[in-house]
Structure 1
């Protein structure tokens, strides 16, 4: 499972919480990332999610089979830090 604690040190106003029964990060009460197995799921604009899926860098986030969440993408934890930061930036300017 991904360790979010270094990000909490970087952004002390952010909080850890649970999303879909998994540990996650939120800012301003809104989640921008959560862990699932060996992957991290991040919230990004729908066009960016489609781009990551099309390039093979990410997979759709489908907590219910056949119903992907259009603004969430699943990426391997080893590749997630830049995308987690991008997701946080997306939420803080939205």
Structure 2
């Protein structure tokens, strides 16, 4: 399955979740318009054909340490601390990590 197809499966999975905005909704343009958002903040997106998620810094470091991801650089020359490019290439990993990202970004305790 192509990354875009797997991302579309995530969109379908989270479409009915409270506070979640999906790509393609009316009025969404520019940066983040093709991302999954919760309460207006991005928690998952495709960049360069890879899934990118927002997670706690310690979790990002742990996943990089296990080889499940790499640092995400938004083209500014340095990695973003709370963003992970997922290297795991299976549907279950994508779904589990995307749920973590939704919970993290949607949490009022960040």
Question: TM-score range with shorter-chain normalisation?
Answer: 0.7 to 0.9
Task: Determine which structure has the larger strand proportion and give its number.
Answer: 1
SS of the residue 2:35 aligns to:
strand
Are the counterparts in 2 of residues 22 and 34 from structure 1 also a CA contact under 8 Å?
no
Superposition deviation, residue 65 in structure 1: 5.6
Moved more, 31-40 or 19-28: 19-28
Pairing partner for 1:50 from 61, 80, 87:
61
Q: Deviations over 1:48-76 (max 9, x none)?
A: 10111111100111121631111000114
Match of 2:96 in 1: 82
Are the counterparts in 2 of residues 32 and 87 from structure 1 also a CA contact under 8 Å?
yes
Aligned length: 93
Match of 2:21 in 1: 15
Moved more, 46-55 or 16-25: 16-25
Pairing partner for 1:6 from 13, 22, 26:
13
Structure showing greater Rg: 2
Are the counterparts in 1 of residues 32 and 42 from structure 2 also a CA contact under 8 Å?
no
SS of the residue 2:80 aligns to:
coil
SS of the residue 1:66 aligns to:
coil
